[in-house]
Amino acid sequence: MSGKFGKSDQAARAAATRLVQAGRRPEWTGMPGQPGTIVNPPIWRASTILYEDVAHLRGASIGDRHQLYYGRCGAPTGWSLAEAITQMEPEAAGTMLFPSGVAAIMAALLAVLRPGDELLMVDSAYGPSRSLCDGLLRDYGITTCYYDPLIGADIASLCTERTRAIFLESPGSLTFEVQDIPAITAIARARGIVTMVDNSWATPLLLPALGLGVDISILACTKYIVGHSDVMMGSATANAAWWDRLRNRAHMLGQMASPDDAWLALRGLRTLEVRLRRQGESALALARWLEDRPEIARVLHPALPACPGHAAWARDFHGAAGLFAFELAGGGEAERARLIDSLALFGIGYSWGGFESLALPVDPAPIRTATRWEGRGPLVRINVGLEDVGDLIADLDQALAHWRAAMGR
């Protein structure tokens, strides 16, 4: 990687190389007695595992993560994907797979929190992550205190004896504030508080979060890992301190990912570096183009100096992904809808990280509680796909003309 999708950075280059090799063990891609191996592990579907005799059945252990035991405990397709994700982060001890990103977030929270604990949750978090805190966790006697994404080391002032965990999402996937992760993890480590991050935007390729002191790194693999908008999946990767607990809790919860989905996700993972680089470059080009337009009040993209937390992004990240947002210089819901409806190359829909461009109206103000969202105009979130960037700019250009017409300008 070079340029700023990435700084030319040895760690990022090494990660790109690891992506190709990771999780490819001969015992998962070959057959006993055969001289060769296939490149990708096949889809190992299983519920029942048959044993040679009772002694072997009794000898099998659920505790060994690469032993066939029972379908819910996994099989080589999922093991290969989990190992590949683990190998993206040098400090990682292991990865559990889940049927969605939200399931991964929930399992990570339940691995750590007990009734009576308090969770510090970033105010810019993905809406359903907040819903988990305000619904399920509250019902189980766990309280949540929301904090300003730009709080940095001042997080110390919120830590109490009950604070058990700090949840980060950086950048926020709607409003793109970048958090000072090392400052927060330093405070947490000193107090024995666990940290976990929703790292779906950067993936470990652009942000090896465990290396910055985070204990559990969570991915909505549905986004960039899968990359093709056709699979729901999540993962949680833990350091050595939290790996056993995470794995045990995920087993207790009965959580796993199907082997078919793991196979597709593994296929997506192999091309993550080229997709993310191209999508990141195109997104930055689009963001810079939008910045100069009179119709735009503000562009929220971590690689632009105006983005809150930009300095932390420049210090900690190896590049920028393809998701960002912009605020229109006036108008309301109807004019924003006119702009989005006029786009020909951007689909209208939830999610992001796939190969196709998307546009979404976003309204962060009502879900904030610790901070006030000081919006400058209606917000539009853009997922930049693999289309030609010139075509995407031309499409936005013509849609902005529709917006101007709706505004009477």
Ligand X SMILES: Cc1ncc(COP(=O)(O)O)c(C=O)c1O
- Cite the active site residues: 72, 126, 198, 223
Q: For residues 213-252, which are near ligand X according to CB under 6 A?
A: 220, 222, 232, 234
Q: Are 303 and 282 in contact (CB under 8 A)?
A: no
User: Least distance from C-beta 237 to ligand X, angstroms?
Assistant: 14
- Closest approach, Cβ 277 to ligand X, in A, equals 20
For ligand X, the closer CB: 86 or 200: 200
Query: Which residues from 157-186 bind ligand X, rule CB under 6 A?
Result: 169, 173
Q: Are 87 and 18 in contact (CB under 8 A)?
A: yes
Number of residues that bind ligand X (CB under 6 A): 13
In the shown chain, the binding pattern of residues 77 to 106 toward ligand X, with x for contact by CB under 6 A and - for none, equals -----------------------xxx----
Residue 284: CB minimum distance to ligand X, A: 20
Among 5, 28, 79, 126, binds ligand X (CB under 6 A): 126
Residue facing ligand X at closest CB distance? 101
Q: Judged by CB, which is closer to ligand X: 193, or 323?
A: 323
Cα gap 213→6, rounded to integer Å: 21
Helix (H, G, I), strand (E, B) or coil at 88: coil
If the CB atoms of residues 232 and 287 are measured against ligand X, the closer one turns out to be 232
Q: Collapsing DSSP states into helix, strand and coil, what is residue 336? A: helix
Residues 22-81 binding ligand X (CB under 6 A) are none
The least distance separating ligand X from the CB of residue 222, rounded to whole angstroms, comes to 3
Burial zone of 21 (CB within 10 Å; 0-12 exposed, 13-18 middle, 19+ buried): exposed
Residue 51 CB neighbours (<10 A): 14
Residue 351 interacting with ligand X (CB under 6 A):
yes
Closest contact distance (angstroms) between CB of 67 and ligand X is 28
| Of residues 23 and 101, the one with the C-beta less far from ligand X | 101
CB of 72 to ligand X, least distance (A): 20
Establish if 382 lies at the interface with ligand X (CB under 6 A).
no
Answer whether 122's CB lies under 8 Å from 147's CB: yes
3-class DSSP state of 408: coil
Cα separation values, 229 from 240, 282, 288, 337, 349, Å: 32, 19, 26, 23, 11
Among 86, 199, 200, 357, binds ligand X (CB under 6 A): 200
CA pair distance 41, 275, nearest whole angstrom:
22
Output DSSP code: residue 177. Answer: P
List, in sequence order, every residue forming a beta bridge with 122; answer none if it has no partner: 147
Q: Is 170 exposed, middle or buried (0-12, 13-18, 19+ CB in 10 A)?
A: buried
Contact 34, 305 (CB under 8 A): no
Do the Cβ atoms of 335 and 404 come closer than 8 Å?
A: no
Please identify, using beta-carbon distances, which residue of 126 and 243 lies nearer to ligand X: 126
Nearer to ligand X, 184 or 236 (CB): 236
Which residues of the chain form contacts with ligand X (CB under 6 A)?
A: 100-102, 126, 169, 173, 198, 200, 220, 222, 232, 234, 351
